[in-house]
Structure 1
Amino acid sequence: MKKLLIAAFIALPTGLAFADGVLKPQQGGVMAEAKSGQRIELVAQPDQLAVYLTDHGGKPVASQGASGEITLLAGTEKTTAKLEPAGGNKLTAKVKAAVGAKAIVKVTLAGKPTDQVRLTLK
């Protein structure tokens, strides 16, 4: 039993070392990973916000049939906009955001539960 516990303590940190915990934005935005493993990248563009979807391995996830909502919190102001599929793995919302605004992004893929992440625009 003692040897089993020692082996478990040795294996635990080793297993964590293989996790790919680094989120690297591919479009120059900010990223977060939802509980489902879905990765969401938020990119502020001059006249809109774009959301790019990838799986846990970084492969694009098609936005066709997806829906979503983005809520921006800047000081005492709150703005909500609908996310629409824009081809490929991209969803967009016609809303402008200031640097430092907090964003709550909700995305629902066809046949799957809603994913939600919280990000801060840079």
Structure 2
Amino acid sequence: MKHLLIAASLAFSTGLAFADGDLKPQQGGVMAETQSGHRVELVAEADQLAVYLTDHGGKPVDSKGASGEVTLLVGSAKTTAALVPAGGNKLTAKAKAAAGAKAIVKVTLPGKAAEQVRLTLK
């Protein structure tokens, strides 16, 4: 009986530990998680880059008052564009990026320290 209880508690705790561990893009982009637990999804749109912010549980984080920048690295070329709030949990930057470009996304939420992630566009 004791072994059954231990096995059941391990099975349940393992399931809980991985319940929100997947970084599944909601907008078709690429995702990364900051050290503080915010999730950043970068989407290359026709004439701009969009960044969507969510918390560790996947709930949208309001972009109002947020700021940041996207730095694109393609070969030896480096381009930086400012991120501005675009409503909801979205920030945008006037920049174009092709697949394979490496991006450094830096976001500062109101009253918080800056957070940064590195991503590679697909």
The TM-score bracket by the shorter chain reads 0.7 to 0.9
Counterpart residue number, 2:3: none
How far does the alpha carbon of each residue in 1:66-107 deviate from its partner, in whole angstroms, 9 at most, with x for none? 000100000111000000000000000000001100000000
Q: Under a length normalisation based on structure 2, what TM-score does the superposition of the two structures give?
A: 0.86
Aligned to 2:68: 68
Query: Per the alignment, in what secondary structure is the counterpart of residue 92 of structure 1?
Result: strand
Identity of aligned residues (%): 73
Distance in structure 2 (CA, Å) of the matches to 1:28 and 1:49: 12
> Number of residues paired by the alignment?
113
Instruction: Provide structure 1 residue ranges, at least 5 long, that are not aligned to the other structure.
Output: 1-6
Structure 1 runs, 4 residues or longer, greater than 2 Å off: 13-17
CA distance in structure 2 between the aligned counterparts of 1:14 and 1:27, rounded to whole angstroms: 30
Equivalent position amino acid for 2:83 in 1:
L
Matched, 1:84 2:92: no
Instruction: Extract unaligned runs of 5+ from structure 2.
Output: 1-5
Paired letter, 1:119: L
Q: CA RMSD in A?
A: 1.7
Q: How does the TM-score come out when normalised to structure 1?
A: 0.86
Q: Which residue of 2 aligns with 1:57?
A: 57
In 2, the alpha carbon distance for the partners of 1:16 and 1:96 equals 41
